Amino acid sequence: MKKKYKLIIFILILLGGFLIFLYFKNRSYDYEKEYSINKYKIIEKYNRDNKYYTFYITNNNVTFPYIIFNKYLKEKELLQEIEEYKNGEEICIIPKSNKLSFEPLCSKNNLIYTYNLSINKEVPYNYKSNTNLDKSYKKINISSIGDKNFLLFNYKGFYWINKNNNKNLSLFEKDVYNLNLVYQKDNILIVPDYNQEYYFNLFYLINITTGDIKKIESKNAISFDSIFIGTFKDNVYILDKREEKEYALNIKKNKIKEVDFQVVENNKLVTKKYKDVLKSIKVDNNIIKYEIKDNILYKVINKLKIQISNQKITKIIKSTDNEVYYLVGEKLYMYDSINGEVLLLSNFEWNFNNTNVIFIGS
């Protein structure tokens, strides 16, 4: 019997050691690796917390920056080749990898820009084209919207727009000209009842994907002098600055309750004092930033700018790490690395009012 127990213990030790080996073998790490491919110097990094790779590809004092969101790969030196295409003073590159996909970037006179702005048509890269619907609804011209869904504010509610259907979602009895308190979490738009003045106790939850509306009532009256301060799991947090109270609105359970003052830090809820909550509010948590300078739109990767449009940009409407939506006068465009620059919608009214009037879902 003793020999049997010793054998079992030995097998368990071997199994435990094997599991520990697998854990460390497959565990992701932050790392930085420098190497060269022909004349290009490459810095390759991995960010474990946010699960993305950064590549800086440099030649002749010109650096092409890339951020690729991907799970951790065991291999390092992930680039095998840098394809280069020249047209006069312009150079375009496509990094080649067996594991990751890259869009072309181009450079001329030390300016970095996306391939949709290039004059070189020899680069083997084609942007995907959405079908141009070429139709209209309520004086809104609808173009290549693909599978996107839209809520467009019309002063008494919203027009719900997608490629198959459109409808008018009426919410308010009188025209509302300033939709200051509104918040989008994923594909849910949260709108207070603007039929009420100064204080409200009703929220509308509009599903941008379906156009359906739900209502959530609050036991407490909430001031319109409030702000949305972030989300955690299914909760959206609202800070009433006039009454100095905080609420958690659960979009799955359709409930709202008063909570202690708290904010989300490092993916955890942290309790704080009221004044400290105000100081902790973050507007943009994206890794990739977008900015407008002199009406030119840039993607920004760690302070390195990539121009993505030649048009005179009015305003950024929404951005994620993978795409950006922006206005050129009355026209709404989108840019991403798959589709390039695409005209989505146009509405003459956006020449005059474009604050909190366009909301985009998948």
Element (H, E) at 17: helix 2-26
Contact yes or no for 139/125 (Cβ under 8 A): no
Count the alpha carbons within 13 Å of 46 in the hemisphere toward its beta carbon. 17
- Render the burial of 254-263: b for 16+ CB within 10 Å, e for the rest: eebeeeebbb
Instruction: Classify burial at 236, counting beta carbons within 10 Å of its beta carbon; exposed 0-12, middle 13-18, buried 19 or more.
Output: buried
Neighbouring residues of 282: CB distance < 8 A, sequence distance ≥ 6: 230
How confident is the model over 114-152, as pLDDT tens digits?
999 998 889 999 988 776 778 899 999 999 888 899 999
Q: What pTM was estimated for this model as a whole?
A: 0.89
Domain boundaries, the chain: 31-117
Q: Residue holding tokens 């590159």?
A: 93
Q: What is the pLDDT along the chain (362 residues), one digit of tens a residue?
A: 555 555 566 565 665 554 454 444 445 679 999 999 999 999 999 999 999 999 999 999 999 999 999 999 999 999 999 999 999 999 999 999 999 999 999 999 999 999 999 988 899 999 887 767 788 999 999 998 888 999 999 999 999 999 889 999 999 999 999 999 999 999 999 999 999 999 999 999 999 999 999 999 999 999 999 999 989 999 999 999 999 999 999 999 999 999 999 988 877 888 888 888 887 776 677 899 999 999 999 999 999 999 999 999 999 999 999 899 999 999 999 999 999 999 999 999 999 999 999 999 98
Contact yes or no for 327/335 (Cβ under 8 A): no
Neighbouring residues of 192: CB distance < 8 A, sequence distance ≥ 6: 181, 182, 200, 202, 203, 204, 222, 224
